[in-house]
Structure 1
Amino acid sequence: MTTGRTPATGARPRPAGTGGSSLQANLPYLVVVGVSLVVLVAFIALSDPFSPRAEGELPNGTTTTTATGITTIPTDATSTTSAGATTSSPSALTGAARGEEIFNSTCIACHGIGGVGIEGLGKPLTASTFVAELTDAEVLEFLIVGRTETDPLNTTGMSMPPRGGNTALTDADLANVVLYLRAIAE
């Protein structure tokens, strides 16, 4: 079936309903962007990320202490990145509170608010047997190295990029994320 009209350019008329839609071609991308925006808005609406907290205090009122079982953490606010450069901590927070801050800026996109997971992107971390069965040092190593989608142990088909995809994160930053993961574990 044709439209019955010949374009002024002399081109052949296209059958009705063809020509494709850029919306259809970009739908998977738009879904990912839409989900990311929903997560961001939900995070901002449901939490108060900018409220001042005492050092080591989590949103639920619990407090944390220093890392145990992790042997690669520098003991001061200055740490070394994977490239060997020395950086100072961009936040005055330490421990699990700093880990939460990092989680909310890097990990939340795939693992959701509070680590509850996002289907098709990142597994829930609050009740993760994988995380629970590893030592702090092993979780830290996993965060440093990540996991490719072709890894035989990968159960999602999605990659977990090294350092959560943020190469600026130091080993100390990731050790704080480990502390946060322990704090939110059910």
Structure 2
Amino acid sequence: MAKKPDTNESGQTESGKKSGGGIAGLAIVAAASLASSFALFYFLTPPAPPPAAPCPPAAEGATAPAIKPLAQDQVYVEMKEILITIGSAPATRYLKLNVTIVTGKDSAAKVKQAEPMLIDAFNNYLRSIELSDLEDPGFYPHLREQLARRSELVVGSAASSGVLITEFLLR
């Protein structure tokens, strides 16, 4: 086993030389670090993505409508106003909601006839909503989806094309 040279308190050996690399050792470590950093950056950087192709020019007279036109046979069936308490606390907050069902002309009578069942399905869902949900602006599309799903379950997906919330008031 190699014998360690004896050092005194100042870090010098008995022969008078300091142990360690000194400035030359630090320079070698710095150069090695610099070289390895450059190599990592140079070899591991992904290549630049190819340029994107530009959009072809639109043909004259071939513009599509920005909004899909309504079907000629669509009918809007208004439901009765829904007024419901929110949360489990005493009746301090109310939700007033007017809903319109989008349907075809041939299914309007079926939707109007199923109005009590639709309102019951909507009330069951609305009673389960917490006040914090209604105060979140991102909850509104979810509310529409849930009401539309319940209308499809009650009258069938062929009769219900969607739900419009025509009035939404939280007191």
The bucket for the TM-score relative to the shorter chain is: under 0.3
Give TM-score, length-normalised by structure 1.
0.24
The structure with the greater share of residues assigned to strand is: 2
Larger radius of gyration: 2
